[in-house]
Structure 1
């Protein structure tokens, strides 16, 4: 079985590779390391731990990929929010350069795993494009490109005509292309990682919800909702946007924001050859950014912010229809075949966080909307750190859990932030 909870409807659930057969935990279990969460972060951590010869178990409350990892946009984007110079300001010159090189190479970790483990997931590495929505944003985008060029990244500026030709839309100004980026079918990739974990010897269980983390001497006790318990020397918590209250304060250290997507029917031949040439993916420079891509079935997929609550009707996605019409008026009449959403874990400083709030407990959280590359790489770095004990294995320091002030008012200040960003996007 693959767990009692069905996958939420989406384009990815409808077109993904079949899920591997994964049972629910049937009896008490003892392991060296238990990883909680079956998304990019958890699967990557478990895989790299097992490949290092460490006895590893992974448990997922629902199905593998049930959360944002099975519902994301499928864009594999290099870097983080901060450009290279911003990382130098954050971490210092040497550590900032190291972080920039590490975060800039996150797509390599994804495509290397795809190749090494023969993961069938529509992997395409044609590049990620960032078009500018205004002249001011154009200057900032081209400066971003310049900074990455100075580090030797495979990037290039695009003028307005080149951008319009590549996108198949004149809606934007100049921008840049980062050829390190690409796309995957996210649920197929997640399921492929699960198969790789099984092949590496990871004990993998779905439909297994951990209800508490209890320190017991040199071991942790993890009861589950359906009865059997787990004993482990170390615990790694990788629940990102679906983080609950397993550890005090952790849920309040992030904002779990919804990102929504729509997918058209496969585009007719008259549009197919002109929109997103070569398979590039795109996300623009707006604070309330839009992101879009094609899938191998020829559909046009558009994503952006969502309501704070889970979507309840097609009307909750109307803003994405307007975005589609703004960028591609020639495709605005194409029927929408799929609508879905998922939660993104945003930290206050927009960095991925690694915490160790207790002996033997590690937390990896903060996908920041770039989870495929970022969390895949962070899982590898965290596994290396747990094996060696050397913090230098990671581009970010281990930090304490800090709750976001007035987290209970997050709906209010997220709404205020969205209103502010709407105004900023007019510039």
Structure 2
């Protein structure tokens, strides 16, 4: 059963994914039914591989079905930094993959006719002060130098796009957009099933064991023997594989959704239907959906929630951005866990022969997790690791990982205070 959210009430119907029963064989067994696992399943099945995906709950149950729905281009570090870190060859391929990920996602939606309210109206990286405006300008200049459809917008331009004078400027990338994320996840599942993949919900992987001819994955109702294993559990990674859980920091992100707004109010507060995220110390993001609901999100309580009470700060902030929202009704509040990495890059690992893991999208998982599923498929279909568009690295557990929740909570409060004071 899905946690309560607006998406759970409004998503496209789910395809049947019954629990695994008995013994099965496959070329590839995928653990995790979010964007990474579903994309990998689809790409592999399209290529003729025998694929079986195991999901503990149902496809899209985790962050893939609860996020802000923003299809953002790029990686967290700026383009020049990526090429400094990885060199012009690999760094250039990483940039092509990540900044091209939205176009690839929307092409996937069209090819498989996925009904997910897809809209490619751009992404706005809004600067809350002079410091973040200078950073947005630098990033826009780096992008423009590479010939990408990216520009810097002045404070006046951003006010015209958003209906608020809050911002000091912004980087605007025409390639971004948004989707109904749970509908997108369910659409990926349907497309993978149509290509011959097998998907089993209610089937948590409990144990992975090496066998002479590959691997055996055990669930409460059965088992799968496979040549290859894909671990695609991101913010909900457990101890199924040694050290993997401790290589990322799971962080809850919260979203509040308004009741549908009158057309004149919706046009006034968000004249341009691009999605937006703030470039502050603590990210706030928002977009308008097809029903004129405002969805605003950000870091919040580091525990599960199911209503707007614990995230009043988000709805109060919306009313400060747009005073016309002061009396609006907020109908839904929810959250889910994303995965952060210490170096701010997504991680791709091959911890043993035939085993591949991908996780740690740092809040950019809609486009990047979908793209990473394609990279996993390329690798398992024979592409050498060094020819992939993301580096394959060793699993590196984070020291003192057990203190992450306290550290994250402290950082959230510090960021909110510093952003509010303009420090």
TM-score clears 0.5: yes
**Whole-Å separation in 1 of the counterparts to 2:218 and 2:296:** 40
Number of the residue aligned with 2:356: 362
Number of equivalences: 421
- 1:65-104 superposed matches below 5 A: 65-104=60-99
Partner of 1:280: 274
User: What does the per-residue CA deviation read over 1:279-322, in whole Å, with 9 as the maximum and x for residues that have no partner?
Assistant: 21100111201100011111011000021121266431112112
Q: Which of 281, 291, 300 is residue 285 of structure 2 equivalent to?
A: 291
Residue matched to 1:372: 366
Contact 1:264 1:300 in 2 (8 A): yes
| Structure 2: gaps spanning 5 or more residues | none
What is the SS of the residue equivalent to 1:213? Answer: strand
Q: CA deviation at 1:423?
A: 4.9
Distance 2:326 2:86 in 1: 45
Which residue of the partner structure matches residue 111 of structure 1? 106
Q: Which SS does the other structure have where 2:120 is aligned?
A: coil
> SS where residue 207 of structure 2 aligns?
coil
> Considering only aligned residues, what root-mean-square deviation do their CA atoms show, in Å?
1.3
Query: Residue 182 of structure 2 corresponds to which residue in structure 1?
Result: 187
Alignment of 1:170-181 (within 5 A): 170-181=165-176
Structure 2 Cα separation of the partners of residues 334 and 362 of structure 1: 46
Deviation at 1:147, TM superposition (A): 0.6
| Matched residue, 1:306 | 300
Moved more, 100-109 or 111-120: 100-109
| Residue deviations 1:199-234 (CA, integer Å, cap 9, x gap) | 111011111111001111222111112x31111111
Q: Note the C-alpha offset of 1:424.
A: 4.5
Measure, in 2, the Cα distance between the counterparts of 1:16 and 1:65. Answer: 11
TM superposition shift of 1:400: 1.0
Task: Determine the C-alpha separation between the residues in 1 that align with 2:227 and 2:5.
Answer: 37
1:330 aligns with 2:324: yes
TM-score (norm 2): 0.97
What is the rounded CA distance, in whole Å, between the counterparts of 1:284 and 1:45 in structure 2?
31
Q: Deviations over 1:328-370 (max 9, x none)?
A: 2221320001111110011111111111111111111112111
* 1-structure distance, mates of 2:306, 2:126: 31
Runs of 4+ in 1 over 4 A off after TM superposition: none
Match runs of 1:122-133 below 5 Å: 122-133=117-128
Distance (Å, rounded) in 1 between the aligned partners of 2:103 and 2:382: 22
Aligned to 1:54: 49
Residues 59-80 of structure 1: CA distance to partner in whole angstroms, max 9, x if unpaired? 1110110111000100000001
Match of 1:33 among 7, 23, 28: 28
Aligned match of 1:139 in 115, 134, 150? 134
Q: More displaced, 313-322 or 121-130? A: 313-322
Unmatched tracts of structure 1, length 5 or more: 1-5
Q: Distance in 2 between matches of 1:255 and 1:70?
A: 19
Contact 2:237 2:245 in 1 (8 A): yes
- Residues in 1 aligned to 2:281 and 2:297: alpha-carbon distance in whole angstroms: 14
Contact 1:262 1:301 (8 Å CA) reproduced = yes
Distance in 1 (alpha carbons) for counterparts of 2:269 and 2:254 = 21
Aligned CA distance change for structure 1 residues 77 and 309 (closer, same or farther; 3 Å): same
Counterpart-to-counterpart distance in 1, 2:14 and 2:8: 10
Q: Give the corresponding residue for 1:153.
A: 148
Give the TM-score, by structure 1 length: 0.96
More off after superposition, 395-404 vs 252-261: 395-404
